[in-house]
Chain A
């Protein structure tokens, strides 16, 4: 079995969002990590590899520095790494990103593609399903508990109040939740081995069956009109009222904020 896992290098927002003195996000000061949902997807692939035997190829799109997450994935047990990087691919929205990744994956053999549900920087959860559309294969989002049965996968697909046990013929794409599993750690020896391996680097010219009009900033249908970093909050209001007035005050504020 051949499994392709899409991973992304993202700034670490957990436990230490750094701010500039003006209250904006200091991205340069933040460490980068493998996106948690993607890591869960990789872990799911590695477990399938342990259980059924598989070749796991990790693919990432990003700056040359994104090679780091490929090495990390290989230190965890992935077999091959593909870095898709090219100036013309920069500034892509989810449409252009999924077009690019689909163009890269068309060069690879795969029975199963696993992506994380969403990246913690963009939080869109769109790239996985969009890749599946470009490749014209079934998608199962929000997957837990992945099993292989013959030429099919059987997956628990999560919804808010239930899950469906879903069976799909391979090739198929699955989006993984970080709740899916506890990703394994790298091993020290695995790290040194990962750095000895070759990584495949692809640019625009290596993408298969994609149109320039659908790539990069220019090929992105969505455009950013305005972006602002949320300013860190300080003290808010403080009131001294009698109990009934206090209650109305709190209820009003919760209404304004749509809590109720």
Chain B
């Protein structure tokens, strides 16, 4: 077992870090404060291929492995949780299902511009009545001649109003499963601007405030028949498999937030003086930092292990769930401690740890709450 990263990965990390420090960090406070989507940053990332890292080159991507992608989200999130989730939602939740389930035509039409960053992607599964319980879907798609007609709404959609291409789930019928009638769910690719596809309220959030979170509304929205993604009725599997990958992205985001808070705090305690000495000289501070650093590294190992599993295994649900569960909880714990070690300054918006703590909370909630991750992990244990 070798825990050293390859030279390529080290250099890729240096690239992401440099970009994050130079291009993303200076805007992080403003993005949070104004709740404005960092469009220019996204355009810069597009130019550098950051929006298609794990997509093969023949589809306009960078042809890198999931670990490289995870490191990108990690480094971006170290300085700005908003930017991290933009890349994660786009890549894991939109590029990935099209890459995995799309037809060649769909890949050429949608994946290529997505991977090149000419278009931004989003994923619509959650509904007001169907969050953790994906079976609670209400959105319907009915085939009418050569078109599917969508009706319903999706909520809390990341990259909501900013995306161009959406992977949307809807009920296409019912099937009998073990003697019970169950909803048959299918996945669709919907383009922005399709008549009948509109946006509802913009959510005002606690954290990741620059990410565009919207309600999507479909009212007799007609999309071409060929925009069905994967087989009809396989939507639930597509959603779950996509979320396995998405969780690695969110785990990377959580990891980055924890690392960012830890690094910021280490700098701070070396400089901040109380009772005539740097607070880093107090044993309480030292022990807190030791615990934080240990947990952050454990989280990193789980996240990287999950990313490697995605590269080499067909199924990696448990690895992804463990990585997300642990990294999210570590992010919350470490950012909270970081605020505490900053004292009064930690509660002030000018100091980054305040924002990091707010950003961290969502990682325990979206793309499967920590409770859902525990269900996935324990389900595999008791199978």
Contact = CB atoms under 8 A, between A and B. Distances in A.
B50 A188 contact: yes
Interface string A188-213: 11011001000000000000000000
A37 interface: no
Contacts of A75: 11, 15
A187 B8 contact: no
Interface string A68-82: 100110010000000
Contacts of A72: 11
Interface in A53-77: 68, 71-72, 75
Please classify how large the interface on chain A is, using the bins under 10, 10 to 19, 20 to 34, 35 or more: 10 to 19
Interface stretch (B59-67, B198-206, B370-378): B59-67
A195 B64 contact: no
A186 interface: yes
A46 to B, nearest CB: 14
* Chain A interface helix/strand/loop/mixed: helix
B244 to A, nearest CB: 22
Q: Is the interface of B mostly helix, strand, loop or mixed?
A: helix
Interface string B5-48: 00110011001001100000000000000000000000000001
A252 B328 CA distance: 60
A192 B63 contact: yes
A249 interface: no
B15 A188 contact: yes
A188 B62 contact: yes
B253 interface: no
Contacts of B61: 189
B57 interface: yes
Given A192-B63, A192-B64, A186 B15 contact: yes
A163 interface: no
Contacts of B63: 189, 192
A179 B62 CA distance: 30
B18 A185 contact: yes
Interface string B259-303: 000000000000000000000000000000000000000000000
A195 B11 CA distance: 10
B7 A195 contact: yes
B189 interface: no
A189 B64 contact: yes
B224 interface: no
A189 B64 CA distance: 6
Given A185-B48, A187-B49, A187-B62, A192 B18 contact: no
A188 B53 contact: yes
A132 to B, nearest CB: 32
Nearest to A195: B8
Interface in A154-174: none
Contacts of A192: 8, 12, 62-64, 68
A187 B64 CA distance: 11
B15 A191 contact: yes
Contacts of B53: 188
B19 A185 contact: yes
B353 interface: no
B152 to A, nearest CB: 37
Given A185-B48, A187-B48, A188-B64, 4 more contacts: A71-B7, A75-B15, A186-B15, A189-B57
6 contacts: A68-B7, A188-B12, A188-B72, A189-B49, A189-B62, A192-B12
